[in-house]
Amino acid sequence: MAEENKPGPVSNSSSKNPLLTILMIVNIVAMGTVAFFQWKFMEMEAKRPDLTQLLKEKDAPAATADGEAAGEQKPTEVVKKENLLPLDSFTVNLAQGEGPRRYVRLDAVLKMSDDAKAPEFEARKPQIRDTIISILNTKRADDLLKKEGKSYLKEEIKASINSFLVDGRVEDIYYISFQIN
């Protein structure tokens, strides 16, 4: 009787179940495959030229075609500080679309032409702000989230402001901050 209650040799469940062994082998092969493709991808990325190098190569033929030395850079646009007119911050409700109510926070600077006069800008500042708020109220968040939407908004604001300015005009609009919530 005492012999019947004695525990027998301890059996290892993994040696009797080949499914666990097969799953381990499949897992190791899958991890090796992922590691191989990651290594190949990193090798391919290392061979890609640097963006700055591509830009230099692109600009080099244009510079030599213009008769300039290859090492010289083209002059950038010079903006006078007197031509930049900052606007106060805007917080405006957007047009109601699907989902919750959305609004935009916008800080912008207007680049005025050389013949623009600061007194006119100061006198028309409320009209400029009203125009921008009215335009923003008609926009939906989906319209403004895309790059094209922001560019179109700039053009629309420029055209609206230029329609009532007497001296000078708005040449460009620079977004300082643009946040949609």
CA–CA–CA angle 103, 109, 110 (5° rounding): 115
Return the pLDDT at 113: 87
Which is higher by pLDDT, 121 or 153? 153
At residue 11 the predicted structure's pLDDT band, cuts being 50, 70 and 90, is low
Residue 172, H or E segment: strand 170-180
- Domain 81-180 class in CATH: alpha beta
Q: What percent of the chain has pLDDT over 90?
A: 34
Check residue 116 and report its DSSP letter: -
Q: Is the four-CA dihedral 120, 125, 129, 131 of positive or negative sign? A: negative
Which is higher by pLDDT, 89 or 54? 89
Mean pLDDT score of the chain: 81
Return the pLDDT at 160: 93
Close Cβ partners of 180 (under 8 Å, ≥ 6 residues apart): 94, 102, 103, 104, 105, 141, 144, 145
pLDDT (tens digit per residue) in 79-132? 666 788 888 899 999 988 777 888 999 999 999 888 888 888 888 899 999 999
Return the pLDDT at 84: 86
Ordered by start, the domain boundaries in the chain are 16-65, 81-180
Region for 26 from its dihedrals, namely left if φ exceeds 0, alpha if ψ lies in -120 to 50, beta otherwise = alpha
Which is higher by pLDDT, 115 or 71? 115
Closest CA to 136 of 118, 147, 125, 149: 149
At residue 70 the predicted structure's pLDDT band, cuts being 50, 70 and 90, is very low
Among all chains, which residue has been given the structure tokens 């963006």?
Answer: 51
Q: How far apart are alpha carbons 139 and 97 in whole angstroms?
A: 9
Return the pLDDT at 89: 92
Closest CA to 87 of 131, 52, 22: 131
Tokens of 58: 């692109």
pLDDT (tens digit per residue) in 55-65? 677 666 555 54
Return the pLDDT at 114: 83
